[in-house]
Amino acid sequence: MYILKCNDDSYYVGSTTDLTRRVEQHNHGEGAEYTKKRLPVELVYFEECRNIKDAFLREKQVQGWSRKKREALISGKFDLLPSLSKSKTLVSTSSTNT
């Protein structure tokens, strides 16, 4: 799983089996449509995973994160990750028996 910083200051999250080749592809306009319009890109973070399935699952997880949470990951501030999680409000329903 990897994170690229694009020329417009946005982030792109992806996964691959060959990181060097994939970053080169992105910078040559052969990557995702998203990065083609935001060249050049810079590799700012990566994690090695046991297999491509795990990398893809991690990619999907990080794609759902806020910009602030991604930036905490990139900068190694792992202790901030839990507090940057999106809060989920549980909706409780009550029924009244009549």
4-62 pLDDT tens trace: 999 999 999 999 999 999 999 999 999 899 999 999 999 999 999 999 999 999 999 99
- Please give the domain boundaries of the chain with CATH numbers for all domains: 2-80 (3.40.1440.10)
Burial-class residue 67 by CB neighbours within 10 Å (0-12, 13-18, 19+).
exposed
Q: Is the peptide bond before 40 cis (omega within 30 degrees of 0)?
A: yes
